[in-house]
Copies of this chain bind each other. A is one copy, B any other.
Amino acid sequence: MNTYSEQLNKLDHQLNALGFCESLIFWDAATLAPENSVDGRASTLVSLSELYYNLLINENTKELLKALEENKNDLDEVGLAKYKFYKEMYDKIACVPVDEYSAFKGLQSKASKAWEEAKEADDFAIFEPYLQKVINFQRKYVTYRNLGGHPYNTLLEDFERGLTVDVADKFFEGLREVIVPLVKEIQTKGKVIDSPFAGVTFPSKGQKEFSDQILDKLGFNKDSGIIAESVHPFTMNITRDDVRITTAYHEDYALSSIYSTIHECGHGLYEQNISKDLGFSKIATGTTMGIHESQSRIYENNIGRSEAFWTTYFDLLKNIFPEQLKDASAETCYLASNDVKASLIRIEADELTYSLHIMVRYEIEKGIFEGKYEAKDLPQVWNDLYTEYLGVTPPSDATGVLQDVHWSEGLFGYFPSYALGSAYACQFEAAMNKVFDFNQAILSDDLSQINEWLKENIHKYGSTKTPEEIILAATGEDFDPAYFTNYLKDKYSKIYDL
């Protein structure tokens, strides 16, 4: 039996090395690489994907996985998790022919570049043919892989193991029922919030300083990670000991970098806290996008947008910006960071309306895979749904259908994990409150109690558990979106005196 485990470990190391390279290339492209590097990078990514495919998909691996299946009972916990992980990955990739698999990598590079140009020029026509190709590929993938039920299920599964259209429909319906009337009530009866950040310039240098200090407060290990700048903030885990996050500094909008940094820090802590026992392995990373987003969001929203956070850290910010914040207080900052506005841009949305932005994308993606929409239809569908769900109509595609990078990379099925993450986060907060006072932990200016709970119940497991297993073991219950909707009702009723 040992020899099968060893074979799998060997394969895992090599695939993990290729993954390491791909991650580093993406990081580098977004932060540093020179203008003309794009073609060489695209060609390299295509070759790496061929290598990856050929290494994984062959008779040897097939035989190995069969042998492991037959001897499953002899595997230890990590070995079993690794087997399951690769069995799933094998089935997912083997159904796609190798030339289509690597051609898709080339298409991703080109489509991303076209998307950038289209967004810059506010011209959907530049992106449309590439988007249609990406859609065609993903539709074909759905027929290859075909998990059954709604065609979109196959894609949802890739980002949140176990998620189906039936489950997601119910989840979003439940959210809508709470969020839509709550937003309406705020818009009609809520008090007006004056932001101390509005119209004030916060030089990047100071924002960097705050980012740096708040990362220390949140427990981000700078010997095992770095922070840099990029247009769109993101986290890239190279290994658990090399976790990289980015933020973006907008001098006229300081809250943006603050919450980007905290959000990405949440992703980063998840990766840094994965058990060393998992080694350098493809399973030594967050289990799904939904659970990953729960970690970014618990830091960004449950911690970062709490009253306790501003009570504790307002002085830190004011020390850096005494002039800009001379009339501000912890209270006004707290309110400003929770100001509800039905707006056009997802990543600038407040915590309450955020899920409505996700629902727009969810409905569109579902429609694409039902065959209702083609690329050319999306600008109009997008605008119609924003008008219906948020009451705002994008004046341009740059602030509408072109705002997100995801579709250019073929990431259909990804968006729902953002909303799920917010909901998981609230259930985790509730579970912590059974053990210690979550709020008090933030007020104590020592987040180690929270970090430790998350590490022990979520982070350390990497990909060895499914979301269902993690949620049940950590909270004692199955996933229950009511934690999220109750949290929203409580929080916003208080803020807006409803």
Residues of B within 8 A of A32 (CB): 226
Residues of B within 8 A of A16 (CB): 44, 47
Q: Are B225 and A14 in contact (CB under 8 A)?
A: no
Interface pick from A19-27, A256-264, A304-312, A357-365: A19-27
B interface footprint on A29-41 (CB within 8 Å = 1, 0 otherwise): 0001111110111
The bracket for how many chain A residues form the interface is 35 or more
Question: Taking the full assembly, how many copies of this chain does it contain?
Answer: 2
Question: A240 → chain B, closest Cβ, in Å?
Answer: 8
Residues of B within 8 A of A226 (CB): 32-34
| Cα A228 to Cα B286 with chains together (Å) | 32
Known: A37-B238, A40-B238, A40-B239. A21 touches B25 (CB 8 A): yes
Chain A, interface SS category: helix
A130 at the interface (CB under 8 A from B): no
| Residue from B21, B28, B241 within 8 A of A39 (CB atoms) | B241
Question: A48 → chain B, closest Cβ, in Å?
Answer: 5
A433 at the interface (CB under 8 A from B): no
Residues of B within 8 A of A24 (CB): 21, 24-25, 28
| Residue of A35, A48, A240 with highest tally of chain B CB at under 10 A | A35
Q: Are B241 and A36 in contact (CB under 8 A)?
A: yes
Residues of B within 8 A of A224 (CB): 34-37
| Cα A225 to Cα B222 with chains together (Å) | 28
| Cα A24 to Cα B18 with chains together (Å) | 13
| Residue from B14, B40, B242 within 8 A of A51 (CB atoms) | B14
B interface footprint on A223-261 (CB within 8 Å = 1, 0 otherwise): 111100000000000111110000000000000000000
Question: A104 → chain B, closest Cβ, in Å?
Answer: 16
A7 at the interface (CB under 8 A from B): no
Closest to A276 in B: B39
A60 at the interface (CB under 8 A from B): no
Residues of B within 8 A of A225 (CB): 34
| Cα A50 to Cα B280 with chains together (Å) | 16
Question: A279 → chain B, closest Cβ, in Å?
Answer: 8
A13 at the interface (CB under 8 A from B): yes
Question: A56 → chain B, closest Cβ, in Å?
Answer: 12
Closest to A51 in B: B14
Residues of B within 8 A of A17 (CB): 43-44, 47-48, 51
Q: Are A223 and B280 in contact (CB under 8 A)?
A: no
Residues of B within 8 A of A33 (CB): 226, 238, 242
Q: Are B47 and A13 in contact (CB under 8 A)?
A: yes
Give residues of chain A (326-366) contacting chain B, Cβ–Cβ below 8 Å.
Answer: none
Question: A462 → chain B, closest Cβ, in Å?
Answer: 14
| Cα A16 to Cα B28 with chains together (Å) | 18
Residues of B within 8 A of A280 (CB): 39-40, 43-44
| Residue from B14, B50, B222, B223 within 8 A of A14 (CB atoms) | B50
Residues of B within 8 A of A21 (CB): 21, 24-25, 44, 48
| Cα A39 to Cα B240 with chains together (Å) | 11
Question: A39 → chain B, closest Cβ, in Å?
Answer: 7
| Cα A363 to Cα B25 with chains together (Å) | 41
Question: A368 → chain B, closest Cβ, in Å?
Answer: 32
Give residues of chain A (43-66) contacting chain B, Cβ–Cβ below 8 Å.
Answer: 43-44, 47-48, 50-51, 55
Known: A21-B44, A50-B14. A35 touches B239 (CB 8 A): no
* Besides A17-B43, A17-B47, A40-B239, 9 other A-B contacts (C-beta < 8 A): A13-B43, A20-B40, A20-B44, A33-B238, A34-B241, A35-B223, A36-B223, A37-B238, A51-B55
What are 14 A-B interface contacts by the 8 Å CB criterion?
A13-B43, A14-B47, A17-B43, A17-B44, A21-B25, A24-B24, A33-B238, A34-B225, A35-B223, A36-B241, A37-B239, A39-B280, A40-B242, A41-B242
